[in-house]
């Protein structure tokens, strides 16, 4: 039987197997996504350790080369996180120690998994928010194209689901395009909120006996600023992520209503639009039907987004200051949102 790996925090007796299963949960799956970003943050931290006198330049080069290798392996799906590892930070620490020995053991100097996870998470969220903004912009462009092409295509406008005034399909499309432009502003605001470095706060109370150049490390990672009060880092968990989830909810709300319109307009009774067959599914018992499943699921996802936002709003509530394991749930919630 293979010998069980000891966690990085191990001192004395191992936790019972059920304790590990319960506390890790599905967190290791999310950390597999964070692994490349944690490698990037660790490389920046290693540069800071040179300034602090913990690493020399030769050691830094060896560390960065090893981190580059594990980042590429993670991106290729060759390295992941298992429940036994607990998190991506352990995977990186074990990899560096196996590759570099004592040099690898130095890397955790001056940081805790508490600030390490937030650095990786914020790099991940920054990346995903840019992707979301670009994808939303593409939808805006498509809708503007529809608005221009069908600016004279008459259709009825409704209030209270009753025929109200004549309008055009172009005006319908332009309305959603403008709303999504507003939603992109919310994405930009969320990006601005999470673009701040937690590194150097460690477990929440700083590293008093080590001179870490926090602003320099933040600049290396492209963060616009540092959370200067170290206790604010853990107090902000869930709060900063809530901005991200809220931006996702805003986009989801717009697409929810647009999908509802299209499902309705695609019915035989309305007949305003006709969906391409390749964008629909069939029925197992009624072969003549083509179902707008994509639109219906897009409409439903909005409710999942609001649920994740509720997790982020409620989990940190009533917690005393400092870190608590409850906050682990905020990571999955915001990652699920994006």
Nearest partner of 4 among 61, 83, 73, 78, judged by Cα: 83
| CA distance to 41, 136, 196, 234, 338, per residue, from 302 (Å) | 32, 15, 28, 28, 12
Q: Are 7 and 16 in contact (CB under 8 A)?
A: no
Q: How many angstroms separate the CA atoms of 290 and 300, rounded?
A: 19
- Three-class secondary structure of residue 88 per DSSP: helix
Task: Say if residues 335 and 26 touch (Cβ distance below 8 Å).
Answer: no
Q: What is the CA radius of gyration of the chain?
A: 25
Catalytic residue among 283, 303, 314, 321: 283
Terminal alpha carbon distance of the chain: 40
β-pair type (281-282, 290-291): antiparallel
To the query of whether residue 160 is one of the catalytic residues in this protein, the response is: yes
Count of positions (residues) in the chain: 338
Q: How many CB atoms lie within 10 A of CB 269?
A: 7
Cβ-Cβ contacts under 8 Å for 276 (sequence gap 6 or more): none
Catalytic residue among 45, 112, 160, 284: 160
CB atoms within 10 A of CB 309: 22
Q: Which residues are catalytic?
A: 160, 283
């Amino acid at each position: 039987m293979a010998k069980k790996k000891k966690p990085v925090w191990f001192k004395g007796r191992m936790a019972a197997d059920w304790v590990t299963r319960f506390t890790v949960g599905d967190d290791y799956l999310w950390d597999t996504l964070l692994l490349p970003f944690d490698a990037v943050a660790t490389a920046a931290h290693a540069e800071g350790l040179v300034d602090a006198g913990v690493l020399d330049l030769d050691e830094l080069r060896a560390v960065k080369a090893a981190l580059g290798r594990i980042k590429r392996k993670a991106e290729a799906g060759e390295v992941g996180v298992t429940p036994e590892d607990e998190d991506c930070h352990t995977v990186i620490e074990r990899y560096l120690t196996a590759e570099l020995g004592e040099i690898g053991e130095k890397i955790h100097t001056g940081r805790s998994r508490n600030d390490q996870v937030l650095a990786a998470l914020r790099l991940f969220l920054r990346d995903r928010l840019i992707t979301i903004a670009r994808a939303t912009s593409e939808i805006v462009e498509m809708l503007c194209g529809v608005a221009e092409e069908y600016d004279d295509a008459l259709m009825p406008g409704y209030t209270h689901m009753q025929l109200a005034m004549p309008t055009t399909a172009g005006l319908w499309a332009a309305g959603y395009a403008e709303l999504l432009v507003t939603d992109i502003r919310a994405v930009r605001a969320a990006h601005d909120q999470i673009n701040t470095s937690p590194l150097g706060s460690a477990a929440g109370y700083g590293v008093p006996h080590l001179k870490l150049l926090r602003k320099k490390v933040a600049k290396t990672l492209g963060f616009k600023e540092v959370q200067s009060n170290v206790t604010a880092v853990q107090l902000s968990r869930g709060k900063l992520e809530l901005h991200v989830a809220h931006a996702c909810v805003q986009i989801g709300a717009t697409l929810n209503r647009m999908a509802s319109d299209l499902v309705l307009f695609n019915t035989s009774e309305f007949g305003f639009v006709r969906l391409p067959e390749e964008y629909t599914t069939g029925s197992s018992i009624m072969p003549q039907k083509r179902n707008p499943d994509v639109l219906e699921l897009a409409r439903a996802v909005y409710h999942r987004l609001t649920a994740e936002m509720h997790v982020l709003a409620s989990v940190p509530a009533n917690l005393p200051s400092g870190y608590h394991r409850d906050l682990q749930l905020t990571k999955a919630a915001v990652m699920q949102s994006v």
